[in-house]
């Protein structure tokens, strides 16, 4: 097919690359001229593993423009992947979606023949039927379901693995205006996805509600594991990893996202959970579970601050390893590590930070007595208390000689085994009963060095 993709950001650019990789001719549209130029030159406009290589390899089938008419008239289907920022009440704004819909509709007015419009941006239930569809009809002068089709097709992906997730989804979710539109999109994905996912087709409101429900359910699972970890810390001999490993064996629960550690972050989970709560309240339904999930998540950083102050000497320095919200991405939205560093700086603590990918993104967000270290080892050397907040694989390479003698390490993801850090370092594991380990330098053996 000939496809146009409106929005060449964190999701749009990978989708353009994936569709071109699968043999489709793709033209991207963006208001950012730098993004358009990058795609035209066969370069990735955003950072995402594997994206640059895939764009280079499929350059002949990829192009970009700032001209909606050019893109719409040259394609059979158009995907809208623009931001839907959160409004103060927690719901999602449609201002960018409706702006795109207006321009797409205006282009469709000039086009003969059927055209499929696909909205992939996350929106509130009711948005497609009540706002997006009418806008397309008004600007195009055409009737949805008769002269053009409309689908709601949100992605279930994670930054850092977007390309893999797009090629291997568990499910393809399609809210359709009519049967023809749903069948076209389902056929497209059947040829793109390598995992042979289940394709769920339904009306708009059910698809919109499903998107919010999936992420809200996952965040509830994460917060439950974190609550369990905190309970384990109060019980000698308790180990959250042992408990969650057993819980995950139950087919009703499953092991994914059942890791007692830090709170969830990123551009989707936090705001989707808040939006679900807002939706429930707007419709007179108590949002107790979603609100409790959000409250538990927001409690994680203050809890870490308390733990750090319990071991931080007067005038001491705290280290934070991990500023991205997860490994494999430079994204810092709702990052637990970044929020921890900000909270410590607000209390007048000197902080040294390091992240393999997110240092530049974090510089403007951290103000005060902050040092941006050139490596994990340099950050560890200068810290009286070191918190490992993002489980980057390279952090496992820390050696006893990298740590300040007498310091404490708050190992939030349990990357290190007991007695693995030596030098009299106090090793604190979240989720372990009696979490503080006073290591003896005479018996300490580095499990990391022995790997």
Q: Which positions are annotated as active-site residues?
A: 268
Query: Quick check: 8 and 37 in contact, CB under 8 A?
Result: no
Residue 386 phi/psi, 5-degree rounding, is -115, 120
Reduce the secondary structure of the chain to three states and give it as a string: CEEEEECCCCCHHHHHHHHHHCCCEEEEECCCHHHHHHHHCCCCCCCCCCHHHHHHHCHHHEEEECCHHHHHHCCCEEEECCCCCECCCCCECCHHHHHHHHHHHHHHHCCCCCCEEEECCCCCCCHHHHHHHHHHHHHHCCCECCCEEEEECCCCCCCCCHHHHHHCCCEEEEEECCHHHHHHHHHHHHHHCCCCCEEEEECHHHHHHHHHHHHHHHHHHHHHHHHHHHHHHCCCCCEHHHHHHHHCCCCCCCCCCCCCCCCCCCCCHHHHHHHHHHHHHHCCCCCHHHHHHHHHHHHHHHHHHHHHHCCCCCCCEEEEECCCCCCCCCCCCCCHHHHHHHHHHHCCCEEEEECCCCHHHHHCCCCCCEEECCCHHHHHHCCCEEEECCCCHHHHHCCHHHCCCCCEEEECCCCCCCCCCCCCCEEEECCECCCEEECCCCCCCCCCCCC
What is the Cα–Cα distance from 388 to 393, expressed in whole angstroms?
11
């Amino acid at each position: 097919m000939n496809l146009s993709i409106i929005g060449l950001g964190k999701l749009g650019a990978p989708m353009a690359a994936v569709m071109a990789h699968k043999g489709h001719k793709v033209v991207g549209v963006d208001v950012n001229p730098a993004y358009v130029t990058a795609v035209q030159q066969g370069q990735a406009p955003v950072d995402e593993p594997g994206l640059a290589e895939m764009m280079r390899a499929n350059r002949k089938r990829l192009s970009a423009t700032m001209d909606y008419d050019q893109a719409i008239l040259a394609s059979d289907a158009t995907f809208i992947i623009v931001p839907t920022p959160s409004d103060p009440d927690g719901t999602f704004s449609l201002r960018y979606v409706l702006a795109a819909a207006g321009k797409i509709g205006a282009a469709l007015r000039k086009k003969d023949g059927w055209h499929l419009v696909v909205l992939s941006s996350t929106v509130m239930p009711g948005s497609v039927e009540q706002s997006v569809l009418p806008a397309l009809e008004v600007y195009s002068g055409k009737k949805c379901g008769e002269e053009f089709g409309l689908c709601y097709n949100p992605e279930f992906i994670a930054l850092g693995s977007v390309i893999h997730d797009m090629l291997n989804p568990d499910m393809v979710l399609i809210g359709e205006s009519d049967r023809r539109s749903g069948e076209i999109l389902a056929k497209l994905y059947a040829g793109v996805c390598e995992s042979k996912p289940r394709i769920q087709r339904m009306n708009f409101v059910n698809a919109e509600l499903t998107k919010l429900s999936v992420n809200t359910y996952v965040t509830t699972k994460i917060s439950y594991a974190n609550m369990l970890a905190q309970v384990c810390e109060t019980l000698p001999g308790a180990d959250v990893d042992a408990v969650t490993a057993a819980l995950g064996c139950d087919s009703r629960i499953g092991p994914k996202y059942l890791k007692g550690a830090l709170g969830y972050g990123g551009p989707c989970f936090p705001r989707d959970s808040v939006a679900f709560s807002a939706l429930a309240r707007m419709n007179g339904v108590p949002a107790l579970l979603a609100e409790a999930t959000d409250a538990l998540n927001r409690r994680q950083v203050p809890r870490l601050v308390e733990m750090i102050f319990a071991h931080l000497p007067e005038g001491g320095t705290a280290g934070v390893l991990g500023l991205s919200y997860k490994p494999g991405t430079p994204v810092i939205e709702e990052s637990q590590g970044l929020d921890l560093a900000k909270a410590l700086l607000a209390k007048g603590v000197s902080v040294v930070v390091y992240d393999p990918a997110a240092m530049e993104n974090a510089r403007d967000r951290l103000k005060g007595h902050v040092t941006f270290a050139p490596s994990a080892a340099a950050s560890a050397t200068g810290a009286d208390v070191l918190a490992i907040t993002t489980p980057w694989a390279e952090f496992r390479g820390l050696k006893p000689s990298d740590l300040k003698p007498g310091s404490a390490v708050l190992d939030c993801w349990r990357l290190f085994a007991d007695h693995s850090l030596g030098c009299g370092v106090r090793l604190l594991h979240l989720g372990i009963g009696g979490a503080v380990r006073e290591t003896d330098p005479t018996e300490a053996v580095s499990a990391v060095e022995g790997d």
